[in-house]
Structure formats: structure tokens, C-alpha cells
Chain A
Amino acid sequence: MHRINLIKILTLLLLTVTISVNAQNDASKEAHGDSSHKEKDIKTEIKEYIAHHLLDSYDFTLFSYTTDAGEHKYFGAPLPVIIYDGGLKVFSSSKFHHGETLAEVDGNYYKLYHNKIYKTDAEGTINYNEAHHPTNEKPLDFSITKNVVFILFVAILMFFMFTRMAKSYKGNLMPKGMGRLLEPVVLYIRDDIAIPNIGKKHYRKYMSYLLTVFFFVWIINLLGLTPLGVNVTNNIAVTFALALITYLLTTFTGNKNYWKHIFWMPGVPWPMKIILAPIELLGTFIKPFSLMIRLYANITAGHIVLMSIIGLMFIFKSWIGSPLSFGLAFVLALLELLVATLQAYIFTMLSALYFGMAVEEHDDH
């Protein structure tokens, strides 16, 4: 149980740091020029809504609407912004007013542009280069954004879930409360994912990480389908952190046989060994990289398609088109449920496979 806590804390630290890497989400192509017009065409508005929904945000808005006077009203709470710009500055993101004003802190001005904080001057000028990307300075960003809040929430939720499960056993083998709910899942992970891939000798070392990652990815994927607007696995930095932990675990617990298989594969003639070594080394990086891409792409693509079809309802505005789109969206949402569970399972299973390769004993070829 201490292992689960330690690994959760480690995950949280890595996630908070990598979110500051600010990976650009290039799947959401935003409409650049149209946001200055007052009268917005519904298609650009839908595009902007989807783009806003997919990105991380510095405040916690549950929903927002535009009053008849044209001003935006938001229902939610602002979150603290923590940046490091020659000194640690902490301020509330309500100073940004959802990107409409500049924040002035200690004489420096910061502007929120496309969900990134840039240092600017009093007028809020953003200098663009040829590729239409801003070239202002960016301070180091450690803010508590919406993603971080939800990761912390899921971590605390999982902590309480598992401590209750552990207590529900109370010295006898038949659990009473939470244990009854979770026991089949945990046993499934142990018997069908961990033991066949890692082997009976070493599977206990990795069980805590496999359980953590399975439940974390599953709960986060399911939460992303609710109207709360949570999209943690949509952020490539989050999946990068998870894949990084898998990579670190396989690298640091690989035994001599594992490294031998990479650099000097036994059983093949020696010219092949020299050719295979760089390919195998690249393979160790590509396998966790594919874990990251797979989870990110599946969840993001599902969300984009779902939201586009819901937006289709607003474009049609007819008696026959909108209910059909609604039906399609409903079916797709069910498919997303399956994809959420499946992706958690695949991530866990492939991690177990890589751990199994790391601790494989030598058998005669």
C-alpha cells in the first residue's frame, strides 16, 4: 500500500512538471482570424468551442453562456496561476478574465493567448513570426490548471477507494464492502495480465503500478465523457508522463538478460548482432512512445468526433436532422465507453508485456 502512495505521488510530480512543457495540441486547428468579429458564423463558433473544450484551462468553468447584451458569463471558479519569471509569482487566474484582459503583476504584464501565458507590455502586443506563432517570452509555468485539479481529485478518490478495499478484508478472506466491488477486477489484472506476461516469480513487484495505471486511466477516461469538461488524457503531456514511468520502470528493473538481448542478441551470427543493436535500442524508446500516442490519439479522436456530431445538431436545426444527429451522438458515446475501458486495458497489458521482457530469465534457444 505504501507502494501505491509512492507511485501516485511520483506520477503527480511528473505530471505537474510535464504539463509545464506545454505540448501543443495540433489536432485542434483553431480559427485564427475570425475571433475578432462580433457576428460569428455557427461553424466557426463550433470549431472554437471544440478547440476550447480540448485544451487545458486556467480556471474551473462548468459552463458558460453569452447574455443578450453580448457579454460572456461563466459559472465556475478561477484557479491559481503559479509562474516562475525571475521569482515565483502566484496570482489568481481571475485577473485574466478568460483571456480578455491583461494581468498585471509586479509591473509585468501577462497575456493569456490560446491558453498559454506570454510576457508582454502594457498594450498586450504579441509578436508573430512567419509561421504565425507568437514569439513573446514565456515564463515557466507551474500553475494549478484544470487538468492538475482533476488528476489530484482522481488520485485522492483512488486512495480512498483502495484503503476502503483493504479494510474491508479485516482478516477474513471474504470481503464485505468495497472489496466485493473491486476484487474481480484486481484478480483479473493479476491472473490475466500480470502473471501470464511477467511470470510467477516477479509479478508482485509490478502489481501496484499496474493496478494504479489501470484504474487511473479508466476513471480518467470515463470522467472525460461526462459534461464536466475534463480532458486529462487529451493532453499529450499526461500520457507522456505515464509512458515515461513505464519506460523508467523497464529500464531500471531490467536484468542482465534484457540488456543482453538488446545489445548483443544471442543465437544469431555476429554481423546480424551489430545490425540489430541500434534497432533494438530504438525499439526501447519507440515502445513506450507508442503507448503514449495510442492512448492520446484514441481518446482525443473520439472526443473530437463526438463533439463535431453534437455540433452537427446545431447546424441542421431541423426536425429530422437534429434527432438523427443526436441518435448518432448517443451511439458514439456508447462506443466511447468501450474505448475508454479498452484503452486502459491495453495500456496496462502492454506495460505488463514490457515488464515481462525486462525480467525474463534465460532460456535456451
Chain B
Amino acid sequence: MEIPEIVGAGLIVIGAGVGIGRIGGSAMDAIARQPEASGKIQTAMLIAAALIEGIGFAALFAA
């Protein structure tokens, strides 16, 4: 576990966190605007979050 690996892992987690945080934020704004569409918005949010986590994990394993 050398230093470059740890730094790389930290950057990956920052990237994944920022991405999912932004999606969560937009999803919450959208639900606030239209509460009746919250089911579809939740589904879309989970899908986007899983895709970003997929990249995050793949990069984490490569590091």
C-alpha cells in the first residue's frame, strides 16, 4: 500500500462522492418541485448512482 495507491484511492472516492452527491441533490430538487413524480425520480437516481459506483469500484480495484 504505497503512497500513490492511497492518493489514487482517495481521489476515486472524492470523484464518486461528488458525482452521487450532485445526483442526489438534483433528485431532491426535482422531488420538491413535483412530489407526485417522486417514484420515477427515485428510480432514475438509483440507476445513475449505481453506474457511478460501478466506475468507482472498478477504478478502486485497479488502484
Mark A residues whose CB is within 8 Å of B.
Answer: 26-27, 192, 290, 293-294, 297-298, 301, 342-343, 345-346, 349
Contact = CB atoms under 8 A, between A and B. Distances in A.
B54 A297 contact: yes
Nearest to B1: A29
A135 to B, nearest CB: 25
Interface in B41-63: 43, 46-47, 50-51, 53-55, 57-58, 60-61
Contacts of A26: 61
B52 to A, nearest CB: 10
A343 B50 contact: yes
Contact of B54 (A192, A294, A349): A294
B11 to A, nearest CB: 17
Q: Helix, strand, loop or mixed for chain B's interface? A: helix
A242 to B, nearest CB: 15
A301 B58 CA distance: 11
B57 A297 contact: yes
Interface string B28-52: 0000000000000001001100110
Contacts of B54: 290, 293-294, 297-298
Interface residues on B, range: 10 to 19
A120 to B, nearest CB: 31
A98 B47 CA distance: 42
14 contacts: A26-B61, A27-B61, A290-B54, A290-B55, A290-B58, A293-B58, A294-B50, A294-B53, A294-B54, A294-B58, A297-B61, A301-B60, A342-B46, A346-B50
Contacts of B43: 192
Contact of B50 (A192, A293, A342): A342
Contacts of B51: 294
B58 A297 contact: yes
Contacts of B60: 297, 301
B47 A298 contact: no
Contacts of A290: 54-55, 58
Contacts of A293: 54, 57-58, 61
A298 B53 contact: yes
A26 B61 CA distance: 8
Contacts of B58: 290, 293-294, 297
A294 B57 contact: yes
A342 B46 CA distance: 8
Nearest to B54: A294
Given A294-B51, A294-B54, 19 more contacts: A27-B61, A192-B43, A290-B54, A293-B57, A293-B58, A293-B61, A294-B50, A294-B57, A297-B54, A297-B60, A298-B53, A298-B54, A298-B57, A342-B46, A342-B50, A343-B50, A345-B46, A346-B47, A346-B50
